[in-house]
């Protein structure tokens, strides 16, 4: 009887250990695949043929993980947290992680990898918009934004917009503009107050566009030693004479229409918003006539979501929204 119980107990223990053994084997194979696939640096690829071969290998790796996500997703998470893992794998793997599990935890891991990656190894046309989307979702992307501002030559092109060139200022606008102002303003003030920082003048320009009392106070108090005379003159002129919008005496768009359009946009539905821009091209005059201080959070949210599209059209809208916000917060009697 005792021998039978021993046999049964051993069988139970073996059965319990089997899943752990299988998981370990899966992760060991996963690690071998990572080593075989990510044994290169993108910046050192010599020709198109090698680029195509590397891309095909990464595609096969992604498909293998997608086909067995139950067993391999835990391996992926563990490998991303391992500082000994290949840096290029950690960057690309964070994209794979979010594609499989777009949870806040996965996106936080993606942000960590995007902030740490060597910018000389990544496609900035992917890097900047991804950070902008994360910023619009509430993540603090300011550390990555500072890396962009400190980059010696931050530039990429947008093929869909006629090879439009995105340089230091515009990329920073996409990143910091997508963030909640409560996160972006202090981060920009820190850079603006750091003499010798390569992104200092861009930070000052972005602070003007924040349209927050905190940003205005910070700009007025900032020591501008070391800033170019042209930038200093522009800052002083803008702070003293902001261009505000005259409200239309007889608005063509009602508050209810704006709240519907902006509310839909805040949920990712832009149809009503775009219809209003076509019907009333100078709708800014109506916005400042019919919306009040209680609507400021919604206006700010729509501005953040718009700039997260990270294209020149979004930048144009951002400028318009900034003028709206300046008018709403600086007109007589406005809540600051």
What's the pLDDT band for 237 if we cut at 50, 70, 90? confident
DSSP 29-93: HHHHHHHHHS-S-GGG--SHHHHHHHHHHHHHHHHHHHHTHHHHHHHHHHHHH-TTS-HHHHHHH
Report yes or no: 281 and 270 within 8 Å, Cβ to Cβ: no
In this prediction, residues 55-70 reach a mean pLDDT of: 96
Q: Model confidence at 262, in pLDDT bands (50, 70, 90)?
A: very high
Cβ atoms of 39 and 47 within 8 Å: the answer is: no
Look up tokens 């060597």; give the residue. Answer: 118
User: Whole-model pTM?
Assistant: 0.89
The candidate with the shortest Cα–Cα distance to 106, out of 122, 92, 94, 89, is 94
Q: 178 falls in which pLDDT band (50, 70, 90)?
A: very high
Contact 178, 308 (CB under 8 A): yes
- Whole-number pLDDT of residue 19: 59
Residue 163: how many CB atoms within 10 A of its CB?
8
Quote the Cα angle for 307-311-316, to 5°: 65
Q: What would the pLDDT profile of 166-176 be if each residue is shown by its tens digit? A: 999 999 999 99
* Residue pLDDT, tens place only, 77-121: 999 999 999 999 999 999 999 999 999 999 999 999 999 999 999
β-pairing verdict for 164-166 and 156-158: antiparallel
User: What is the average pLDDT value for the chain, to the nearest integer?
Assistant: 91
- Measured CA to CA in angstroms, residue 135 lies from 42, 44, 131, 185, 218 at distances of 26, 31, 6, 13, 22
State percent of the chain over pLDDT 90: 79
**Which pair of structure tokens corresponds to residue 16?**
């319990």
């Amino acid at each position: 009887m005792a021998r039978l119980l021993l046999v049964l107990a051993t069988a139970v223990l073996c059965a319990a250990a089997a899943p752990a053994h299988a998981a370990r084997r899966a992760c060991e194979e996963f690690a071998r695949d990572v080593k075989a696939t990510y044994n290169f640096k993108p910046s050192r690829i010599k020709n198109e043929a090698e680029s195509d071969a590397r891309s095909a290998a990464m595609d096969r790796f992604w498909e293998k993980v997608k086909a067995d996500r139950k067993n391999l997703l835990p391996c992926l998470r563990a490998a991303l947290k391992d500082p000994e893992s290949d840096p290029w794998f950690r960057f690309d793997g964070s994209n794979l992680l979010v594609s499989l599990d777009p949870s806040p935890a996965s996106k936080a891991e993606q942000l960590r990898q995007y902030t740490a990656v060597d910018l000389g190894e990544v496609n900035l046309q992917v890097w900047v918009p991804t950070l902008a989307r994360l910023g619009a979702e509430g993540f603090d992307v300011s550390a990555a934004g500072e890396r962009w501002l400190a980059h010696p030559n931050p530039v990429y092109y947008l093929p869909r917009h006629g090879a439009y060139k995105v340089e230091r200022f515009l990329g920073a606008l996409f990143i910091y503009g997508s963030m909640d102002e409560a996160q972006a303003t202090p981060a920009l003030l820190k850079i603006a107050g750091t003499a010798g920082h390569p992104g200092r003048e861009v930070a000052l320009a972005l602070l003007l566009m924040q349209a927050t009392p905190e940003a205005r106070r910070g700009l007025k108090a900032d020591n501008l030693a070391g800033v170019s005379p042209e930038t200093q003159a522009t800052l002083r002129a803008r702070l003293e004479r902001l261009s505000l919008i005259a409200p239309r005496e007889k608005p063509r768009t009602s508050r209810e229409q704006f709240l519907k359009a902006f509310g839909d946009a805040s949920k990712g539905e832009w149809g009503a918003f775009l219809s209003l821009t076509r019907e009333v091209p100078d709708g800014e005059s109506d916005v400042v006539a019919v919306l009040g201080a209680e609507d400021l959070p919604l206006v700010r949210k729509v501005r953040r979501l718009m700039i997260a599209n990270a294209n020149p059209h979004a930048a144009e809208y951002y400028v318009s929204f900034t003028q709206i916000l300046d008018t709403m917060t600086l007109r007589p009697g406005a809540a600051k």
